[in-house]
Chain A
């Protein structure tokens, strides 16, 4: 069955530190997509990145970078030189072809709460 595990419940860092948020997923599909979302205190989930199962190339966007490794079923997210505005809950999610009506449904992890202190 599909599953997303974010083992880190809460992380606290001091501003300018680098921080990595872990995500491990389980799926039997060979075609799937992985996502990261940010949920700031205001509550609205914000899309950060999408990665498909055939593209293991790492991606960098400003201070954000993502490391996708199929061999370990992981899709980790690193924030370089963290800032107070990065404080939020971060969710990793999986979308797979599945079967029947479940195609495209997002399976979320429980989230990691990141606190960046000045």
Chain B
């Protein structure tokens, strides 16, 4: 069974440029998560989708970050414009939903903003 797929794996951009990350979850997983992981820290949730609906986006900086999950499968996370402080690893995860199911993570996208 294929795992969570993310692309690109690495991205280097200049500040003020836009950037987008793509995620394809495990087939059958209705819940999709985007996390931010800074160096030496644990992942922190940015947004959670149940099917197409963003059910928790309370931690998403909406002035520059946006996300979508069309048709309840793939998802895209966008930053526009990027700032130096956005340099981090962006992780996508998926699960069957609810508090009891484990989440499966993709390899992440390492973003460097110069």
A residues with a Cβ closer than 8 A to B are 4, 31-33, 35, 37, 42-47, 50, 52, 91, 93, 95-97, 100-106, 108-111
Contact = CB atoms under 8 A, between A and B. Distances in A.
* Interface size, B (range): 20 to 34
Contact of A108 (B44, B95, B100, B104): B44
B45 A105 contact: yes
A111 B102 contact: no
Given A104-B98, A104-B99, A44 B41 contact: no
Contact of A103 (B33, B99, B105): B99
Contacts, number: 68
Nearest to A46: B105
Contacts of A93: 42
B41 A111 contact: yes
B40 A110 contact: yes
A50 B100 contact: yes
B106 interface: yes
* 7 closest A-B pairs by CB: A108-B42, A101-B56, A45-B105, A95-B99, A104-B99, A101-B55, A47-B102
